Amino acid sequence: MPDRIITNTIPTQLTVVHAYGASLGVGVTITTAGARIANRLTSQLARMLGAASEVNRSVSGSCLCMDNDTTLHDAKPWATTGGWVTICQNDGPGERAEQPLASKRQLAILTPTSDLPAMGPARFESLFPVVLRAVLRRLRAGAVYGHGHSSMSYTGTWTTQTATNKNSGSGYRYTSAEGATSRITVPAHVRPGSKLHAQWIFTHDHRPTLTFTKNGSAAGSIDLETVLAFNTTAGKQRWSPYSHEFTVNPGDVIVTTVSETNLGAARAHFDSYSIEAETPPLVLIFKVARFQNYDLFSTPGAGWTYEISDDDADLAESVINDTVAEFSDVITIDSDPILWDGDTPNTHLYDDPYHPNAWGASLLAAEGYREVANKLSPQRVALTGTT
């Protein structure tokens, strides 16, 4: 194996290292190996990068694209009960309204590895980019405003629903009224030119068309019927987030009009909106394109209903790469060259066929350090040994 000796030569710029998502491999139960991997990555990266602390909010077997229902390993990071908070100025969970949007630089580790076997390749290719984009925007937020914030108003009939497993705060607001609108008036303290992200949630049966305007001018639309939302074989609905981006100034007015609600059967669900931080956290995504075997993923009753191959995993990697390319401060790590030797897995780097052991995690963390350090201080990275 190559020697990777890492010297911490960058200034202490990171305050907290966070972890979200699943274990680095995909397991159908919360295995010891799965539970350990995020702890290993956060603790080692925090030490290497000189961060003050680390926080692990990963849940083994969880999926980004689903709501928090433990019957299908769905404790994903974007709902309140999944640990989704605004990590800039992370004094605690909750809205960041009326607070400064700048913060010291933080790092979020994201391990989105369970969605492919849970949904199958076709649905993954359609749904996952929508969800990953929403998750990355939220992780980079500096302020979040819930559906009931004073900057929000509505026309038509809307109902407030209290919940924590489908949304990012204490609840959401929904409507089945054709032509109903939601209205955001950008607060005065928002920095001119900021990115605003309006977040909606949807399911297979609740996929209306949303049409957006800014200050009366067209600002895009989305027909959620074009997104293959997740639905179990038993017909149980799974919730996913959709985020729409605007560049805004104080006082701008964002209006969303709801249509095509299927004669009142479907609903539009508004969750929140966020403002991107002036200094967004870096996001580090560890990609696992291949596994030693895929046997567990078609186990009846385990929640994984699709047989997955290496070709499907390659497709998943391509989907992640294409989505990440939209962001300037998101880094991806390809785990295969680290954990595999060509087409052969280095089994001594694994606790089981899916989860790297302590040695494997150390090699991944070292590669993560190199990429993060290079992003923060390109001229100050020390990497010695052969690769």
Does residue 116 sit in the same domain as residue 155? no
Same domain, 158 and 123: no
| Residues 178 and 71 occupy one common structural domain | no
| Residues 270 and 158 placed together within one structural domain of the fold | yes
Residues 56 and 78 in one domain: yes
Q: Which amino acid would we find at residue 138?
A: R
Question: Total structural domains in the chain?
Answer: 2
Please give the full DSSP string across 66-101, using - where no structure is assigned. Answer: S-S-GGGT---TTSGGGT----TT-SSSS--TTS--
- Spell 16-45 as b/e; 16+ CB within 10 A means b: bbbbbbbbbbbbbeebebbbbbbebbbbbb
234 and 337, same domain (yes or no): no
Does 290 lie in the same domain as 373?
yes
Domain of 259, CATH number, reads 2.60.120.260
Among 256, 276, 296, which residue terminates a domain? 276
The CATH number covering residue 316 comes to 3.40.50.1110
| pLDDT score of 84 more than 60 | no
Q: What is the domain extent for residue 247?
A: 145-276
- Same domain? 26 vs 122: yes
Examine the fold and report which residue of 239, 261, 276 is the final residue of a domain before the chain moves on.
276
Q: 8 pLDDT exceeds 80? A: no
Quick one: 253 and 152 in the same domain?
yes
State the pTM of this model.
0.84
Q: Residue 74 in contact with residue 68, Cβ under 8 Å?
A: yes
Say yes or no: 203 and 166 in one domain: yes
Domain's final residue, options 230, 256, 276: 276
- Computed over every residue of the chain, the mean pLDDT equals 75
Q: Do 326 and 368 share a domain, yes or no?
A: yes
Residues 202 and 349 both lie in one domain: no
pLDDT in tens, 104-159: 677 777 776 667 766 677 777 888 888 889 888 888 888 888 898 899 999 999 99
The predicted-structure confidence for 303-348, as pLDDT tens digits, reads as follows 455 566 777 777 778 888 999 999 988 999 888 888 888 888 888 8
pLDDT value of residue 265: 61
Q: Pull the structure tokens for residue 293.
A: 């075997």
Q: What pLDDT does 230 receive?
A: 65
Q: What is the pLDDT of residue 167?
A: 77
> Residues 22-61: pLDDT tens digits?
664 433 334 556 557 777 787 888 888 877 777 666 665 6
